Structure 1
């Protein structure tokens, strides 16, 4: 009875999110509360909710201040010199431009937001691609590969969701994936180079519509001189990242202090500081609300025993030994799963069940989370129709979604598989 009720609750959450009849926040709160009431846990619901909220609070705080910190840095032009440098150094070579695009998007994606990455990188480089006659799909794919791999970072949405859903430390979850992340980024650079070489041959066959030198000069005209403040901002970012990964400060504390220092250095005065915070607050608050709602969901599902009952029933259905293979096939299917499930429904609805089933087969829950992060809304998110950022990408690049998916899905799937192989070799999957 409890297993059936738990399954119905999970399916209701998935249906509510996927059908877009209700917001993820409402679905993650309303359906578990109803499920808890039907399970006869009315008196204990308050405790379950409080426990769930306390569990996700550190990650919610980290995400909030990370968005504000990197948003402020983008506002003050931290990434503009990178654009100018890439434009100058590529010298009109399509292969170098494609590699530079991946590098630029990787730097910009430090804020963990796909939308902001697309809004900064694509408009900055689209005129250069057009002036050289380069395929706009290559631009979209290069940005997508960088952003997809970058979504694995500790402050990226999928990693935070996975840590929240499984009650793990986000830093402890990510650190074993650092070599995998580096492998994914290196793969994106190699693929971009190969695609750029192919584009170079295509342009040579048909003739380029504009000279390389003219295009580079045109794009570099807006370059800004590097100031002392720019180097101070770079130092602030490096110190925040160092404090984050070294464990000197908790993640939320690192971004809190970094935001305070960055605000004092770049936007002195109450009025300007308020303007910056209000400009980036909507995106940050929206995600934080979903994280707290996810805490309610996991708190009720775990506290009431519904999640354990569903997992036990699921494990009983699987053939002997099948539970131990869950991470492998989950990693392989992670990109296709991005085309079917949005991040909230997958990480808060499906991942906990898979992790509990796998744990009954002796698999650490961290390995299941690592497997999901090989592609589910990481490498897979820039081509998924389940996320609005994909439509923003194709709109900014002025291409059709179908053309983007045909061009980019094989590339992102290949990166996901390469990262999966690395994860298996390292034993983190």
Structure 2
């Protein structure tokens, strides 16, 4: 009963947003509320509150992450990058989209989707608007970047997989690098396909238009702070280093960095008020989605639907798959982590799958590697907060992004799986 209810709740949610019957925020709040009323009305308030509490740090991080990088954009930190990209691309959509893939993957070295989305969108979206490139293409390309780089040891899933299998993180991650490289080649190919489509649709904008855009950048509005470029660059790099090293919790780092950035660039109260008002819509719309997602996850876990769904997914694995547990787990992880949280999959399901694989000579470390290959699909799950941030920043509907990105993201999983088998990272078939 709970398994059926859990999957039905996700299907209803996706159907409502993909058909544009409801916005993501409304669906995230109302759909689980209705299911919760049916399954456990007495504990509904507690479940929702627990969900909100768990996502509160994420909400704080995203709120101040948006503010920090928006302030950096206002101050002109990304103007040299934008100018450089424009000069190299010369108005060619193909070069711009391939450049997006390269920049997105480089920025994603911090392993955090929210940070990557904010930096890349704020830096590159002005170019997309001027040239006329569909912003959905940027969203898909950036999702592929995080799908690859989320496997980095500090990204989260790899540490979970290694902990669940009681193996070293390096033993899990390092052999996956060739598969990640093949995934990056796939991402470049997808970006090139998008770029060729847009080149055929738009052509290449004239040199005069490129020169005009550069002139506009060289004559910035009053709130730009070009003289503080190196100060802002140092502050941003320092923040990224602290994020990677984990010197303080992420929300605290972003709050402190935002306060310092505001004080340095806009020291008067009127200037600070103007910058906050300029970005209030983005902040409120994203944080609203995050807390609505807290209701969704709180009810999913609190009613027992999450545990039941995990057990149900395990039960559908046919016995004949046994010798092929490694590639099967790679594909299964894509489905499982879309429906349940990473914690539920890696700590609740992976150990059971690995125990079965042992009978066929497939080691725990190989199963840990296999379990990470489906991560790109996980990013499209309604349980992932950063994707709501991405679609909001780019300006596309959540359901539209699901439809536009899903096949390309599945293609990335298949490319990385092929690479993992080809390079011997995981075995195609175990032995008895």
What range is the shorter-chain TM-score in?
0.5 to 0.7
Residue of structure 1 equivalent to 2:117: 112
Counterpart contact for 1:33–1:300, Cα < 8 Å: yes
1:221 aligns with 2:218: no
Q: Note if contact 2:147-2:379 (Cα within 8 Å) is conserved in structure 1.
A: no
Call closer, same or farther: CA 1:97–1:31 in 2, change over 3 Å.
closer
Structure 1: runs of 5 or more not aligned = 127-135, 203-207, 335-345, 379-383, 394-400
Q: Quick check: 1:122 aligned with 2:128?
A: yes
Secondary structure of the residue that 2:218 maps to in structure 1? coil
Change (3 A) 1:47 1:86: closer
Q: What are the Cα deviations for residues 320-355 of structure 1, in whole angstroms up to 9, with x where unaligned?
A: 275955553368899xxxxxxxxxxx9567989877
Provide the TM-score with structure 1 as the length reference.
0.63
The residue that corresponds to 2:361 in the other structure is: none
How far apart, CA to CA, are the structure 2 residues paired with 1:22 and 1:93?
37
Report 1:131-210 matches (<5 A): 143=138, 147-151=142-146
Of 364, 373, 377, 2:376 maps to: 373
TM-superposed CA distance for 1:53, in Å, is 1.8
Partners of 2:406 and 2:46 in 1: how far apart?
44
TM-score w.r.t. the length of structure 2 is: 0.62
The match for 1:296 is 295
Q: Distance in 2 between matches of 1:119 and 1:53?
A: 31
Aligned residues of 1:146 and 1:185 also touching (Cα < 8 A): no
Kept in 1, the 8 Å contact 2:329–2:371? The answer is yes
Does residue 74 (structure 1) correspond to residue 77 (structure 2)? The answer is: no
Query: How many residue pairs align between the two structures?
Result: 369
1:57 Cα deviation from its structure 2 partner: 1.5
Q: Distance in 2 between matches of 1:98 and 1:389?
A: 19
Matches within 5 A, 1:230-379: 230-320=229-319, 324=325, 325=327, 327-329=329-331, 347=338, 360-362=352-354, 371-373=374-376, 377=380
Q: Mean alpha-carbon deviation: is it higher for 351-360 or for 16-25?
A: 351-360
Work out the CA distance in 2 between the residues paired with 1:115 and 1:62: 17
* 2:3 aligned partner: 3
In structure 2, how many angstroms separate the alpha carbons of the residues matched to 1:98 and 1:21?
32
Number of the residue aligned with 2:24? 24
RMSD: 5.4
Aligned pair in 2 of structure 1 residues 239, 185: CA closer, same or farther (>3 Å)?
Answer: farther
Q: Distance in 1 between matches of 2:93 and 2:128?
A: 16
Structure 2 alignment gaps of length 5 or more: 109-113, 164-168, 220-224, 356-366, 382-386, 427-432
Partners of 2:148 and 2:184 within 8 A in 1: no
Q: CA deviation at 1:276?
A: 1.6
1:114-150 CA-partner distances (Å, limit 9, x unpaired):
8656631224556xxxxxxxxx79x996x56753444
Q: Residues 125 and 251 from structure 1, CA distance in 2 versus in 1: closer, same or farther, beyond 3 angstroms?
A: same
- 1:5, 1:306 within 8 Å by CA — same for their partners in 2? yes
**What is the Cα deviation at residue 76 of structure 1?**
1.9
- Matches of 1:30 and 1:195 in 2, distance apart? 36
Change (3 A) 1:45 1:367: farther
Partner of 1:221: helix, strand, or coil? Answer: helix
Give the CA deviation at 1:74: 1.3
Kept after mapping to 1: 8 A contact 2:75/2:226: no
**CA-to-aligned-CA distance 1:201-230 (integer Å, 9 cap, x gap):** x9xxxxx99997x77755543453994401
Contact 1:149/1:181, CA 8 A, preserved across alignment: no
Q: Which residue of 1 aligns with 2:48?
A: 49
- CA shift at 1:272, angstroms? 2.0
Q: Determine the C-alpha separation between the residues in 2 that align with 1:209 and 1:314.
A: 49
Q: Which moved more, 1:322-331 or 1:52-61?
A: 322-331
1:237 and 1:89 map into 2 onto residues whose CA distance is 24
Match of 2:57 in 1: 58
